[in-house]
Amino acid sequence: MTDQTPASLPASDAPSTWAYARYRVNRDIRGALAWFGEKWRSSLLFKIAAGLFALGLVLWIAVFVWLASDLPEAEALLVYETPLPTVVRGNDGEIVHAYARERRVQLQYADFPEQLIEAYLSAEDKTFFSHGGIDFFGTANAVFDYASKMGSGERAVGGSTITQQVAKNLLLGDEYSVTRKAKEMILAGRIEQVLTKQEILELYLNEIPLGRRSFGVQAAARAYFDKDVGDLDLHEMAFLAILPKAPERYGRKGQEQAAIARRNFVLDQMENNGFITAAQQAAAAAEPLGLVTQRRERSVDAGYFLEEVRRELIDRFGETAEDGPNSVYAGGLWVRTSLDTEIQMAARDALREGLLRYHGGRAWTGPIATIDVGDGSWASQLQSSPLGISYKDWRIGVVTSRSGTSARIGFSDGTEAPLTNLPDRLKAGDVIAANPAGSSWQVRTIPEAQGALVVQNAQYGRVLAMQGGFDNRLSDFNRATQAMRQPGSTIKPFVYATGLDSGMTPSTQIDNSRYCYYQGANLGEKCIRGGRAGQFPLRYGLEQSQNIMTVQIGMTAGMPNVVKAVEKLGIGDFDPYPSTALGAGESTLTKMVAAYGALANHGRLNPPTVIDYVQDRRGKVLWRADTRNCRGCSMAEWDGEPMPRFGIKGEQAMDARTAFQVMHMLRGAVSRGTATVLNPLKLPLFGKTGTTTGPKDVWFIGGTQQMVAGAYVGFDQPRNMGGYAYGGTIAAPIIKSMIEKTRDKWSDVPPVAPEGVRMVRVDRRTGKRVFEGWPTDDPRSAIIWEAFKPDTEPERFTRQDEIAARRNEILQLLRAGRESAAGAVVDNDSPESRRDFVIDQGGIY
């Protein structure tokens, strides 16, 4: 049959395709309208059906408009930022910790293994690359399943495509309703118009919740297999693909068979879809689940340091996403810290050893905490507790039962064991520390005395290590930064520095016999006698920590000047009383270490910092501690001038020459003073011990010109530590142990003097200048090098001076013996008796 030109068209018009199509449309519409009009006039049933259809259409349009009116914009996904944890690195660039409440790691689409993508497509949405956001067959199945389960309380199958799941997870939430499902479908279509398929998959694989607090496949790979996605085997990829259906089910104990069955179903689907061969499917299906119960620790044991970093970051950038785009727990920050992991581990171990050494054979100090073991939930209570310990093979457990001389201990994993070495006060419910002893466990004692240790780079103020107690899992109170303690004799170097600034020299003779002060009309004058009566060079007073000499220097230089110097160094705001010269004020260990850093750094003070710089998730530097400019460092071409360098860092808080003089005298405190325990290290160390009244706290602070360290030990609620407690016998050995463990980190280069310092040979007994003989390595050598400012060098030492010095030495020893018998006040910081000192020093100083 041939086509003919319709009679209604002019004969002269050639029938074109477009004209013919228009003719057919007009004819069909006129025909349809005529048919509709005829039916409408002749059939009541048709009128009712047409009315119902029109009403349904209007209602559908109204519902669609209502649902779509308040939907989020799909375009928001173009600028969507995955909430990411903050990653912390040490000073060597290695990752040491992450601040995360959820496990999240963001990857690019190219980072996902092809088989992993195929596993998820097979499990969730095999038509993903062909549909426009909605799988109508899957949706129809979901509607049928929903209708069949309505009223039963069971949750129907989802039938959602990957695009719909992205809409639900990122834009809508997990509400279980028909309304949410309809919104999800509308949004899915919009998302498909805004994002490419690869971009949708990237969002999905980074955001899908997969159990064990993990979001995204990379975080889940680490949580379930302790691997990165690139290292997963086929059966492991298939397991991760089953998790979106029941993220908190398949990884649990007791669900192994259900998980294997579902995993193997995914493997079958991968084979059916042509993604893997039958041999690959069979081999993967034969594999066990291989789930890990505990991931390898990826955080350095530096809890006190890392908590200080976290606090500073929260203060600067906020905690959650509501606080800003660069928050700690959502902003994905990259933080470079000053943490030296080797020094940190040494500091941790040295402080713990020192605390245990001081505790010695003392009695058990009591439980760490108590829990109710009567209801049988002790294991879950331990699991939810933040308590823990990282010391040797010790573990935290709870006493589950106690009967006479027998007891049992339980751990967070639900296991129990016999317990030995039972203190009398131990009872069921006590949370304690214990370590294995054969087939049982024995009770261990957490030292009641606490303390802190800080190591800082003296030139830049960068804190290299910080240990604020025995273990931050037992107590998060950071005694390095939060504990306000009396510094005791560690404040004395700054009193002596004020004396040097007022015109004194290391050879200035200071009376150590007594100090008298007026107490008022009723009490009159009171005099305190020193440990070794007589006139001595200023150096001797600092080396041997002589209280009377220190007070004499402070009062002569003016206590208001002393407290100004202390305040300028950031130690604290003290009162200008004589007791302040002996450390009666309060400060923190970090502030004291920074002040000693200024002594090593030619008087330039660098506030302690734990963060070097902070970058956002794209690498842009948001903040840096070192704000020095380097002019010319970014030149396109070298201009022939000397290499550009950063300027000097820090504030000039004291005279550079004074700082060096004090540091030089403090080297004598290590070689022959109160800190001789450090002398065997054979390093150019300077430092000062400190013992507060009681004694309640013992200190040591010192180091080299490059690094300074400080430690203190005391009870959190200050009380007497015992008459044998001194800075030189408790605190200084802690620093010694830490240095021994990190010996290669400490420079043996002697300190460099600043401009304007003259090194002069003097007699250390009198402080006078000598021209015969040379200093030796013997700490008891009569001749030493001394640092002087220009035109302050002492007079020449003569033979008559030596005879007079010996005569005065004998008289002073006799006088000191009588005063000691009469109850004279002696220096709290010197463990040696005066008689022992004379014997050790050969009767000469």
Note the maximum CA span of the chain.
148
**Rounded CA separation 183/133 (Å):** 12
**Rounded CA separation 209/216 (Å):** 6
**Rounded CA separation 465/459 (Å):** 15
User: Which residue type occupies 239?
Assistant: F
- Reference 494, options 608, 598, 650; nearest CA is 598
3-state SS of the chain: helix, strand, coil percent to 5? 40, 15, 45
Q: Is 485 left (phi over 0), alpha (psi -120 to 50) or beta?
A: beta
- Given CA atoms 192, 197, 203, 205 in this order, what sign does their dihedral have? positive
**What is the residue whose two structure tokens read 């660098």?**
606
Query: If DSSP codes are grouped into helix, strand and coil, which group holds residue 673?
Result: coil
Query: If DSSP codes are grouped into helix, strand and coil, which group holds residue 829?
Result: coil
| Paired tokens of 429 | 């419910």
**Rounded CA separation 112/217 (Å):** 9
Cβ-in-10-Å burial (0-12, 13-18, 19+) of 14 comes to: exposed
Cβ-in-10-Å burial (0-12, 13-18, 19+) of 257 comes to: exposed
| Paired tokens of 45 | 């049933």
**Rounded CA separation 214/216 (Å):** 7
- Reference 670, options 727, 616, 712; nearest CA is 727
Q: Is 72 left (phi over 0), alpha (psi -120 to 50) or beta?
A: beta
The answer to whether 596 touches 701, Cβ cutoff 8 Å, is yes
**Rounded CA separation 755/603 (Å):** 13
Q: Is 440 left (phi over 0), alpha (psi -120 to 50) or beta?
A: beta
Give the catalytic positions in this structure: 124, 489
Beta strand ranges found along 207-327 (DSSP E)? 214-215
The number of beta carbons lying within 10 Å of the beta carbon of residue 665 is: 26
Contact partners, residue 136, CB within 8 Å, separation at least 6: none
Burial 208-240 (b: 16+ CB within 10 A, else e): bbbbbebbbbbbbbbbbbeeebeebebbbbbbb
The answer to whether 457 touches 435, Cβ cutoff 8 Å, is no
Residues in the chain: 845
- Reference 224, options 206, 205, 242; nearest CA is 242
- Reference 204, options 336, 116, 139; nearest CA is 116
How big is the CA angle at 42 (ends 41 and 46), to the nearest 5 degrees?
90
**Rounded CA separation 311/302 (Å):** 14
